[in-house]
Amino acid sequence: MKVDVLLGLQWGDEGKGKVVDVLTPNYDVVTRFQGGPNAGHTLEFEGQKYVLRSIPSGIFQGGKVNVIGNGVVLDPALFRQEVEALEASGHNLTERLYISKKAHLILPTHRLLDAAYESAKGSSKIGTTGKGIGPTYTDKISRNGLRVGDLLCNFEAKYKAAIDRHKEILSHYNLQYDLASIEKEWFAGVEKLKQFQFIDSEFVINDLLANGKNVLAEGAQGTMLDIDFGSYPFVTSSNTICAGACTGLGVAPRRIGEVYGIFKAYCTRVGSGPFPTELMDEMGDKLRNLGHEFGSVTGRPRRCGWVDLVALKYAVMLNGVSQLIMMKSDVLDGFDKIKACVAYKVNGEETDEFPFDVTEKIEPVYQELDGWKCDMTSMKSEDEFPEKFNAYLDFLEDYLEVPIKIVSVGPDRAQTIIRYANK
């Protein structure tokens, strides 16, 4: 069997959590392969709303195996908060959530280093989530990291060496901190973490595949935040693209099946960095208010703009997207006109390729389309789609050369329409 991968094609927050939950009944295993608690994946069903950060979004559909893969970075303190919130609402996870021994640990000092590096950058800061993601992946790559499996063997000495090294680095920055209280929370988290089974997830996942089980890999962040291909340096510190699922789970490229690419009918970004189609006017405010575009975890207002087909086409190419999923189309329900960026003008030259230096001034070239001007939030089938909405879908499919198979018309699990028509 194959691993199907679902990932974001924009700058994150496309609605990955919602769709993973919707697709989970078709799978036996759901697994995260990169990122960490910088993610905030929102799920809504039966009048309840949940935000997941490190735990895969397959956790609510009973009887499925959920795995935190080796490519993830895990903060025990935040993990404990997440698990306890789910336990308080009646979800027991220990029998269905497994953690790779090779996932790296976000140490208490990684978060401090994240803060120190950001403040040292001044006005060119990345606007990270402050969760220690960059410093943890840096330690992984420089071969200084600690892994979940290390908790089981001679951990104290390894921990002390890492913390001493970090303290030395921190002494060069002007950062006030109370390490003892962060460590207290962190070690309470370690105790919680130890209630779960630590596994050799690459063997477990490959065995499950060999035994005919279906696996869904859930991406975090989005393609434009990828460490190699995103709007560098305003990116996260992992490979968010499809290739990241191979390294982040230990599955071979030929094991990858469907690649679901998910995007909003418009576009958002949180944190600093280039965003060619950003709207700094009333239209941007309108999108933010109608789309409730505020961070799932941090509450930070998200920057909003029109859909960027140059960036989306690049993302389709990098990921080998085989099916598109369009989210939040309902947010555009009342618009007379909708714009889509079909090319960039860089130094007066028009291009439809995402450029090397995205910090240069990019002028978007727009195509304007008619809005459909009707409430789609209670629609159940594609047969109900207004003509102008179908025209918008056709236009996107023609440009991106991939079929849009799912359309989301609201945040609830039930507000999801699968398209079956001859695509």
Q: Which of residues 278-317 bind Mg ion (CB under 5 A)?
A: 296
DSSP 3-state of 318: helix
**CA dist., res. 320 & res. 322, Å (int):** 6
**Is the Cβ of residue 242 or residue 376 nearer to ligand IMO in the bound state?**
242
Q: Which residues contact ligand GDP by CB under 6 A?
A: 8, 12-18, 39-42, 44, 296, 327-328, 330-331, 408-411
* Contact with ligand IMO (CB under 6 A) among 201, 236, 239, 319: 236
Least distance in angstroms from the C-beta of 54 to ligand IMO: 11
- For 6, 284, 285, 299, the CA distances from 293, given in Å and listed in that order, are 21, 10, 9, 9
Least distance in angstroms from the C-beta of 293 to ligand GDP: 8
Q: Are 249 and 56 in contact (CB under 8 A)?
A: no
**CA dist., res. 308 & res. 266, Å (int):** 8
* Contact with Mg ion (CB under 5 A) among 36, 37, 40, 364: 40
Least distance in angstroms from the C-beta of 15 to ligand GDP: 4
**CA dist., res. 403 & res. 419, Å (int):** 9
**Is the Cβ of residue 109 or residue 236 nearer to ligand IMO in the bound state?**
236
Using CB under 6 A as the binding criterion, the count of chain residues that bind ligand IMO stands at: 23
* Contact with ligand IMO (CB under 6 A) among 3, 9, 39, 59: 39
Q: Which of residues 213-232 bind ligand IMO (CB under 6 A)?
A: 220-222, 225
Q: Which does 126 bind (CB under 5 to 8 A by kind): ligand IMO, Mg ion, ligand GDP, none?
A: ligand IMO
* Contact with ligand IMO (CB under 6 A) among 4, 8, 33, 145: 8
400 binds ligand IMO (CB under 6 A): no
Least distance in angstroms from the C-beta of 40 to Mg ion: 4
| Nearest residue to ligand IMO, scored by beta-carbon proximity | 271
**CA dist., res. 328 & res. 324, Å (int):** 13
DSSP H/E element including 415:
none
**Is the Cβ of residue 355 or residue 371 nearer to ligand GDP in the bound state?**
371
- For 164, 216, 258, 259, 323, the CA distances from 320, given in Å and listed in that order, are 43, 16, 9, 7, 9
Q: Which of residues 55-114 bind ligand IMO (CB under 6 A)?
A: none
Catalytic residues: 13, 41
**CA dist., res. 303 & res. 272, Å (int):** 9
**Is the Cβ of residue 55 or residue 107 nearer to ligand GDP in the bound state?**
55
222 binds Mg ion (CB under 5 A): no
Q: Which does 354 bind (CB under 5 to 8 A by kind): Mg ion, ligand IMO, ligand GDP, none?
A: none
- For 98, 197, 265, 383, 391, the CA distances from 387, given in Å and listed in that order, are 46, 51, 16, 10, 6
**CA dist., res. 151 & res. 419, Å (int):** 46
* Contact with ligand IMO (CB under 6 A) among 6, 12, 19, 389: 12
128 binds ligand IMO (CB under 6 A): yes
**CA dist., res. 236 & res. 231, Å (int):** 10
Q: Which does 221 bind (CB under 5 to 8 A by kind): ligand GDP, ligand IMO, Mg ion, none?
A: ligand IMO
Q: Which does 410 bind (CB under 5 to 8 A by kind): ligand IMO, ligand GDP, Mg ion, none?
A: ligand GDP
* Contact with ligand IMO (CB under 6 A) among 129, 201, 223, 416: 129
Least distance in angstroms from the C-beta of 75 to ligand IMO: 12
Up-side HSE of residue 394: CA atoms within 13 Å toward CB? 11
Q: What is the dihedral of CA 244, 20, 276, 404, to 10 degrees?
A: 110
**Is the Cβ of residue 251 or residue 327 nearer to ligand GDP in the bound state?**
327
Count other Cβ atoms within 10 Å, centred on residue 343: 16
Q: Which of 371, 362, 309 is nearest to 340 (CA)?
A: 309
**CA dist., res. 274 & res. 13, Å (int):** 17
Least distance in angstroms from the C-beta of 392 to ligand GDP: 15
Q: Can you spell out the DSSP letters for 180-221?
A: HHHHHHHHHHHHHHTTSEEE-HHHHHHHHHHTT--EEEE--S
DSSP 3-state of 85: helix
Q: Which residues bind Mg ion (CB under 5 A)?
A: 13, 40, 296
Residues binding ligand IMO (CB under 6 A): 8, 11-13, 38-41, 126-129, 131, 133-134, 220-222, 225, 236-237, 270-271
